[in-house]
Chain A
Amino acid sequence: MSDTILRMRGITKTFPGVKALADVNLEVSRGEIHAICGENGAGKSTLMKVLSGVYPHGDYEGDIEFDGQECRFAGIRDSEHRGIVIIHQELALASNLSIAENIFLGNEQSKRGLIDWNRTNAAAAELMKRVGLNENPVTQVLDLGVGKQQLVEIAKALSKRVQLLILDEPTAALNDDDSEHLLGLLRGLRDQGITCVIISHKLNEVLAIADRVTILRDGKTITTLPAEGLTEDKIISGMVGRDLDHRFPPHEPTIGDEVLRIENWSVHSPTQHGRLLVDNASLNLRRGEIVGLAGLMGAGRTELAMSVFGRSYGTGISGRIIKDGQEIRLRSVREAIKHGIAYATEDRKRYGLNLIEDIKRNVSAAALGKLARGGWVDDNEEFKVAEEYRRSLNIKAPSVSSITGKLSGGNQQKVVLSKWIFTDPDVLILDEPTRGIDVGAKYEIYTIINRLADEGKAVLLISSELPELLGLCDRIYTLSAGRITGEVPRAEATQEGLMTLMTAGQEAPR
């Protein structure tokens, strides 16, 4: 049957002490877009690594049949030779090389050992046209946004005469426009006969684009369903193995006095001279309140948060911060922490954690002084504190001496939260606290956020997921092009209404 392009049967892959895949089956039809869904750790990436030869034949059990032939890949070159190309979540481009050079990296267009630049650039331009990338082939990749870099990756895959394109979380870092373009492109590729396997956490996208969906859970295939007639809730219940009638924990807020007020806050770009990132923004937070900050990518949400957090980003910062009725000046992160402000970053791996250290040393990192007397740290107390957070936040790790780099995203996020809760803040700014985290762990993070509010802390929640803001926040500010364009109480907020405010004034920035 030529109808089925890929058949993976009985795939079992074990790591020392762990069965990552147990008898997984996957069938992909020719010319379809096939989505794979599952929580983090369900085995999606492992399965794709088996398919693309990252784990060579013999390293796993089971067999792979591609295009009617059994495959025994010894490495990624073998699978690419057969037309199977994988594009990882973290893009693998050389940022100092041009688009054309990247497209033909490892596959250089040469003549007698010398690169034929004319042919390289002309062929690259051809491929770029196919993916709708409107740039000069000699442009350096570092000058492109993430969305366009993704297109370069796909053009690179096309240059290898791809038959089966695997995309691992392709839209995780993209804004809505770029995501839309990418999904349109995938539909176009499907019409040209290229089969796609897409791994995504964004279930609405999965439903919008996929023809069929395979759900993995705990290293096993749960089911493969046609996307027609499928709903997000059905996918989620398959992923978590239970019905999820509510995605957000119930919460009755107890709102107290104002704790933080930001007035006329403006921030300039540190790299582009004179560019205003945050424009005269004013907002306030009250005890026990969860306040949302909604905005599109580039609206200035993170810039606003980080500039308030001890001027850790931006230049030419002006405006007033009033804490508990008194104006304060925060010139450094230390001063911000001292005044009871905490900021949990959107990029926990790069800015949030010391990945080579264990849980307890990360938990104590922002408030080591609390554990020290005369400059000496009491590491027994440190252990005790970390252990308390491990229990109360349900961090799944053998012990607090586990290295944070080996934890899953959700558990890493809990370590970041522990670190900031331990500084005993009055105001917690949480920047995309559930990014890249699976559904189950998200629910736990939401529960923690509610608990913090119940303890009388004010939470400023920055999120790109509108349902998350609607499900958690008591009040939502919208930010558009650096300006606060709206303040909506929970009862009046809708996705459509917020989106309108988030795009307000985009056309004519000052």
Chain B
Amino acid sequence: MSVAPTNADLAVGGGPSLPETSGTGRKFSINLRQSGIYIAFAAIVLLFTILTDGDMLAPQNISNIIVQNSYILILAIGMILVIISGHIDLSVGSVVAATGAIAAVLMVNHHVPWPLALLITIVVGAAIGAWQGYWVAYFGIPAFIVTLAGMLLFRAITYMILGNRGIGPFPESVRTLANGFTDGYLGNIGLGDYLGGADLLSLLIGVFAVAGIVVSQWRSRAGRVRYGQAVEALPLFIAKIAVAAVVVMFVVVQLARFRNLPWVLVLLAVLVLGYTLLTNRAVFGRQIYAVGGNLQAATLSGVKVKSVVFWIFVNMGVLSAIAGIIFAGRLNQANPTGGDQFELDAIAAAFIGGAAVQGGVGKVVGAITGGLIMGVINNGMSLIGAPSEQVMLVKGAVLLAAVAFDVWTKRRAGASR
């Protein structure tokens, strides 16, 4: 088979074209690889909903899942960027503890006003990230080693700051941010006998969020059509948006029925939106994928690879500090052992969410979904009264299965070449 060349000059070089490799089987496996994680998430939620007679999706429990996992999800956002760039960060648990401790000392011992204290804490987080980023990017030590050292260093610093005891309690505002709910400025509204009363403001925010999703997706699709790009079939597009809208509204209604929107959910939504935009659309985001995909090619394309890697670690430090504040605020106390093994949860979330060990691949939404999968497993298993060793067992198996699935689909895609 031969393709007619588009240019008369090239006629001699027409030659055999590369085989069109898009059989239906292949398309299916690619879709499966991209959407497998969401299907798995839905299946796990469904499973625990059945096992818990619906308690899984009860208003208070949904709120709990979000608030209990918020700091892991925040860390997962930073971790996915680190992993896309081809590195790893083992120190985040210790950095969470250290920044939480600094926030506590500032607010509790030195009575620094809380907004200033949070700002200082975040700057310290950035400085910690810059420290590690310097060794990785400019000095050239593998991130595994630098952050393994950081894991010890920052844990030690935490002990030195706190002196082997917890410091608390935190000011009311910080506790609200970590653990509290938005105020119902507009009062409640009745949703009928079955659902009862719900917070109007939360519902409105939910409606706006859904409207935002619909409008932005539609505009993006229209833009692609205008440029003659391939888009998914309209029914599939509508179905996807409808599913997203139903899920968002369901969660919002349940939360509105309980105690309004948790502040951390608002924070998370902002972070997810911002970082999704960053990775998809920003020049910096593109450079992260370029560095992780092929370091040398990125260098020779004029990407300042060292600076990109440096800022990724600064970013991880900032997000670790935010997670540190929320975690300490939620416990109302900064603890020297706090944040233990958070790095493992964040890394697992990123890999369950489809990141590749070699770098260059991964999505923020994927990491969030990966984090939620583990959160739901934690929560669901504790609801049915499973002991913690069983939870650990299941989480380990899920991590292995998720990555095995990814490797398997990749190999199948490679074999059909």
Residue numbers of A with Cβ under 8 A of B are 15-18, 39, 41-42, 217-218, 240, 242, 244, 249, 309-310, 312, 332-334, 336-337, 343, 345, 350-357, 361, 364-366, 368-369, 372, 375-377, 379-381, 383-384, 387, 391-392, 394, 396-399, 401, 406-408, 411, 419, 438-444, 447, 451
CA distance A217 to B2 in the complex (A): 12
23 A–B pairs (Cβ distance < 8 Å), ordered by A: A15-B19, A17-B23, A17-B26, A18-B21, A39-B16, A41-B19, A217-B16, A240-B15, A336-B302, A352-B297, A354-B294, A354-B360, A356-B360, A357-B360, A375-B283, A377-B281, A377-B282, A394-B7, A439-B15, A440-B14, A441-B13, A447-B7, A447-B13
Q: Does B230 contact A (CB under 8 A)?
A: yes
CA distance A332 to B286 in the complex (A): 20
CA distance A17 to B415 in the complex (A): 12
* Interfacial chain A residues near B388, Cβ < 8 Å: none
Please tell me if the beta carbons of B26 and A355 are within 8 angstroms of each other in the complex. Answer: no
* Interfacial chain B residues near A396, Cβ < 8 Å: 3, 17-18
Chain A residue with the shortest CB-CB distance to B358? A356
Max chain B Cβ within 10 angstroms of own Cβ: one of A355, A376, A398: A376
Interface residues contributed by chain B, number (CB under 8 Å): 55
Please tell me if the beta carbons of A337 and B302 are within 8 angstroms of each other in the complex. Answer: yes
Q: Does B322 contact A (CB under 8 A)?
A: no
Mark each residue of chain B from 381 to 417: 1 if its CB lies under 8 Å from any CB of chain A, else 0: 0000000000000000000000000000000000111
CA distance A451 to B7 in the complex (A): 12
Please tell me if the beta carbons of B13 and A383 are within 8 angstroms of each other in the complex. Answer: no
Known contacts A366-B302, A377-B281, A392-B7: A357-B15 contact under CB 8 Å: no
* Interfacial chain B residues near A333, Cβ < 8 Å: 299-302
Known contacts A375-B284, A380-B226, A440-B14: A16-B304 contact under CB 8 Å: no
Chain B residue with the shortest CB-CB distance to A416? B297
Within 8 A of A (CB), among B211-241: 223-224, 226-230
Chain A residue with the shortest CB-CB distance to B15? A440
Please tell me if the beta carbons of B229 and A380 are within 8 angstroms of each other in the complex. Answer: yes
Partner of A369, one of B15, B26, B223, B283: B283
Please tell me if the beta carbons of B15 and A365 are within 8 angstroms of each other in the complex. Answer: no
* Interfacial chain B residues near A379, Cβ < 8 Å: 280-281
Please tell me if the beta carbons of A357 and B22 are within 8 angstroms of each other in the complex. Answer: no
Known contacts A375-B283, A394-B10: A401-B230 contact under CB 8 Å: yes
Q: Does B48 contact A (CB under 8 A)?
A: no
CA distance A353 to B20 in the complex (A): 21
* Interfacial chain B residues near A343, Cβ < 8 Å: 300
CA distance A440 to B18 in the complex (A): 13
CA distance A118 to B373 in the complex (A): 57
CA distance A244 to B11 in the complex (A): 12
Chain B residue with the shortest CB-CB distance to A19? B19
Known contacts A354-B294, A394-B7, A401-B230: A334-B13 contact under CB 8 Å: no
Mark each residue of chain B from 309 to 340: 1 if its CB lies under 8 Å from any CB of chain A, else 0: 00000000000000000000000000000000
Partner of A355, one of B14, B18, B294: B294
Shortest beta-carbon distance from B89 to chain A in Å = 22
Q: Does B184 contact A (CB under 8 A)?
A: no
CA distance A350 to B297 in the complex (A): 7
CA distance A365 to B296 in the complex (A): 12
Known contacts A333-B302, A376-B283: A383-B10 contact under CB 8 Å: no
Chain A residue with the shortest CB-CB distance to B285? A377
Mark each residue of chain B from 62 to 101: 1 if its CB lies under 8 Å from any CB of chain A, else 0: 0000000000000000000000000000000000000000
Q: Does B289 contact A (CB under 8 A)?
A: yes
Please tell me if the beta carbons of A441 and B15 are within 8 angstroms of each other in the complex. Answer: yes
CA distance A240 to B223 in the complex (A): 42
Please tell me if the beta carbons of A407 and B18 are within 8 angstroms of each other in the complex. Answer: yes
Shortest beta-carbon distance from B415 to chain A in Å = 8
CA distance A372 to B284 in the complex (A): 11
Q: A376-B277, A406-B417, A442-B13 are in contact. List 6 more A-B contacts (CB 8 A).
A: A15-B19, A17-B19, A17-B21, A366-B302, A375-B283, A447-B10
Chain B residue with the shortest CB-CB distance to A312? B300
CA distance A332 to B307 in the complex (A): 13
Shortest beta-carbon distance from B84 to chain A in Å = 11
CA distance A387 to B18 in the complex (A): 17
Known contacts A345-B300, A406-B417: A398-B20 contact under CB 8 Å: yes
Q: Does B186 contact A (CB under 8 A)?
A: no
Known contacts A391-B6, A411-B18: A380-B302 contact under CB 8 Å: no
Chain A residue with the shortest CB-CB distance to B416? A16
CA distance A385 to B346 in the complex (A): 37
CA distance A111 to B191 in the complex (A): 82
* Interfacial chain A residues near B274, Cβ < 8 Å: none
Shortest beta-carbon distance from B21 to chain A in Å = 6
Please tell me if the beta carbons of A443 and B18 are within 8 angstroms of each other in the complex. Answer: no
Chain B residue with the shortest CB-CB distance to A357? B293
Please tell me if the beta carbons of B21 and A365 are within 8 angstroms of each other in the complex. Answer: no
Please tell me if the beta carbons of A377 and B12 are within 8 angstroms of each other in the complex. Answer: no
* Interfacial chain A residues near B16, Cβ < 8 Å: 39, 41-42, 217-218, 440
Please tell me if the beta carbons of B283 and A365 are within 8 angstroms of each other in the complex. Answer: no
Q: Does B193 contact A (CB under 8 A)?
A: no
Chain B residue with the shortest CB-CB distance to A354? B293
Please tell me if the beta carbons of A354 and B21 are within 8 angstroms of each other in the complex. Answer: no
Please tell me if the beta carbons of A398 and B22 are within 8 angstroms of each other in the complex. Answer: yes
- Give 3 nearest A-B pairs by CB, closest first: A440-B15, A354-B293, A18-B19
Please tell me if the beta carbons of B12 and A443 are within 8 angstroms of each other in the complex. Answer: yes
* Interfacial chain B residues near A397, Cβ < 8 Å: 18
CA distance A366 to B294 in the complex (A): 13
CA distance A309 to B301 in the complex (A): 11
CA distance A407 to B1 in the complex (A): 17
* Interfacial chain B residues near A16, Cβ < 8 Å: 21, 23, 25-26, 416
* Interfacial chain A residues near B294, Cβ < 8 Å: 350-351, 353-356
